[in-house]
Structure 1
């Protein structure tokens, strides 16, 4: 186990232990810098939110040939039976725009999209393995059709991603110091960053470096900061991932004069198992999520539907519907399905740790929904069933336009009557994934101060970066952001460290010739 005295000196310190931090560290090391990573969690809980993800990446690609670069093990049979389609940059830009109400920072969005494929290839070169994202497919005409632009997932999901990146860091000679929280940035009198103060397993230490990359997450694990920025009720929301993302990096940057930036009252939040623990459970990973709601209806304690379950393909709505559930009475909802949809439910509905009821009739089902006005719920489902039209075929692979008519809250797609037994219902609440507010960075991932000037030696990546996501986000773009801006931050930090070392090197005496290189 490393101690402070064993760490030696570093050119670049990376604060954090997840995907963004690993990408920053690997990029800085690739550029020749001596790198040290500080991870607040103990080793068995390390990896930040990245370890809790499903490992899905969103990136631009033009077809199967691009994907074969990332998944060279694709067989000829798979090429014939898997319909990946394409996901051009133009569509990625459109998805980023519409999901964020066109508030996404244009410069950051451009970097995210245009650097997406090359970053994926870079990750592949670092040993991260990808496989087809079978969780985003439906069978159409004998072929598996991938939808929503999500073609690849990391082999082994989030744990597989962290394992591969930690292995790459070890091979590159990058030490990771676990159970060590950075608490403050060390600044020169001219406000240049010169290292960090940290608590190393209960002992305060100061670690010098020419550049620091903050890649230690948002404030989603801090009840106090959630209530302060997201609003009332958010302090009691469940946290999907790590308990260690408590906003420390954001606070350190703001204390150093950084500009706060982005949607501080917004976050990624989803429908989450009602009785899940307060923080993520690595044994369960992301399987507490419940994302098949477009196939059924959701009702609150009053027995009322409260959201358009079919507004869009779920990868464009799931990250904002958690906040809608939080606003319901007692902060919960029930997702209801009938036999026509049960076979299509995602795998997360079949784990043991679910709050679930089943029944042979709707009357019996609504009577089993804890906390719900059963009579009102039965009336609501009956009204929904009458309003669901059947003028076109049901197609879960596209927005099929099969809708309701005449309801105050419509269902715009995939509206089929809930009328075929058996019936199932699942209880959900809000699960917070990550927060959208952070700090302002330049194109080179430099943290900018309140006047828009880079803070010398300070860089940020991952959830620390504000301005990319507002209100919502397209699935898979969070991991991509961590990789894209982590890679940029590491490269920029290494270049800054080289420049500082060069400026600090003594000039040769004019009376003596410079020593030749050996």
Structure 2
């Protein structure tokens, strides 16, 4: 029987980064993916591909995007996103609960890891369409999120796959890992099922990179709480927590925000799981330019509390807690040109009308009078003396309300009006396994490393609590995937 140096469970971004790093060190690598090849890539294939990392200016962007022309650079203000800013964002949005050692590894390794990925052949490009607005003839990036993988999530996964295969990595699809093998001390392989046959695969180490438990209705309801069975899953139907379960069965320590998750506003009529034909298009993230109301017609959240990068991942939970688990995002003609591309897809739950009275009659499930009263109260509270500027937190507020709007407030008074119905779409769960921040090795309940077991990606706990800065999921998988792969033993 062949004994591999390492078996990697999963085939998304974190798993591939582990595979690339392991092959760099001469390890023989087998990747196991329970999905068929047509659905390969885990949650990574469903992302828009944005990756957060620390950078000091345009030279760092040039190093990662050598295809950028001088004309593009001349009309773009990339700004900076320093390690201090990254640290500040991580601690602020997680309410200072992120594990300091894991966070330090993530932030300080982010730029180096991006350059390593670029050297491997992963291509990046500026996110002009979603993260920059043109002001006075120049694009200005905001919210600390500047680059995305070429081709989005699908492009990232396809590039990873090609690079791994060229390096000699074997990838087996339709192969589900069932449990970890041990000799009573170390992990020695994996029991798997392929086409109805169950058998053992031996290895000197195993890297778990199979995602969180968001696609398991039972685990969502058990750990996130009642009502979470009603959420839609944004990504892969295969991320059912198997990697976490297998590790806990051999004594791994659980860690992090088990009742927390990344969840967003998602089209109300989206399917149960992600649809690769639509990708990330069911998301609806332009709410800072409008308002959100629930079934009573009332606003329930500060749409302008911060850039959407720092609020969208927690507002899905808020929407799920509203009456009948839905909300409507409402925009008037002053801002509809700012709406992201996802608002223009064919499969969208949208109504429009020349007046608010006509609009609310089309907004299924909403109390019409409550809505009209709310709009009147909101409009009266808008500070029209402060200029509207989507590139900065402009301080244009609606104050004195039970639910204020802190930035980007405009009166809802210019038709035609548009409204989009959203529910909750869960992206990934925050609870998972405890790892050593220096090696990405899984720790047991005595906080001792488990020989031969590593982990990376969504199933690592302790990084995110309550919320997360947009684009941090992919860099988290990249940093700790690379770290895990770098430390697997080679025979």
What is the TM-score when the length of structure 2 is the normalising length? 0.99
Superposed displacement of residue 330, structure 1? 0.6
* CA distance in 1 between partners of 2:165 and 2:188 (Å): 25
Q: In the alignment, what sits opposite 1:172?
A: 167
> Who is 2:32 aligned against?
38
Q: CA deviation at 1:253?
A: 0.5
Once the 2 structures are TM-superposed, how far is the Cα of residue 468 of structure 1 from its aligned partner?
0.3
Counterpart position of 1:157: 152
Q: Residue 386 of structure 1 aligns to a residue in which SS?
A: helix
* Aligned with residue 27 of structure 1, among 10, 21, 29: 21
Could you say which residue in structure 1 is the equivalent of 2:454?
459
- 1:9 is matched with which residue: 3, 11, 33? 3
The answer to whether the aligner puts 1:60 opposite 2:28 as a matched pair is no
Deviations 1:102-122 (A, max 9, x none): 100000000000000110011
Distance in 2, Cα, partners of 1:159 & 1:67: 22
Q: Which residue of 2 aligns with 1:122?
A: 116
Distance 1:154 1:240 in 2: 19
* 1:78 pairs with 2:57: no
Q: Distance in 1 between matches of 2:204 and 2:317?
A: 41
Q: Which residue of 2 aligns with 1:321?
A: 315
Deviation, structure 1 residue 9: 3.1
Contact 2:435 2:441 in 1 (8 A): yes
Report what 1:423 is aligned to. 417
- In structure 2, distance between residues paired with 1:235 and 1:355: 21
Unaligned runs of 5+ in 2: none
| TM superposition outliers: structure 1 runs of 4+ over 2 Å | none
Q: What CA distance in whole angstroms lies between the structure 2 residues aligned with 1:46 and 1:204?
A: 21
Equivalent residue of 1:364, what SS? helix
Unaligned runs of 5+ in 1: 502-518
CA contact (8 A) 2:399 2:406 kept: no
Secondary structure at the counterpart of residue 447 of structure 2: coil
Q: CA deviation at 1:337?
A: 0.4
1:440 alignment counterpart: 434
Task: Tell me by how many angstroms 1:389 deviates.
Answer: 1.1
Distance in 2 between residues matched to 1:387 and 1:367, nearest whole Å: 24
RMSD: 0.8
Give the match for residue 96 of structure 1: 90
Aligned residue pairs, count? 489
1:449 aligned partner: 444
**Which of the two has higher C-alpha Rg?**
1
1:150 offset after TM fit, Å?
A: 1.1
Tell me the equivalent position of 1:476: 471
Deviations, residues 450-487 of structure 1 (Å, cap 9, x unaligned): 11100000000000110000000000100000000000
What displacement does 1:424 show? 0.3
Deviation at 1:249, TM superposition (A): 0.2
Q: Following TM superposition, by how much is the alpha carbon of 1:333 offset from its aligned partner in structure 2, in angstroms?
A: 0.4
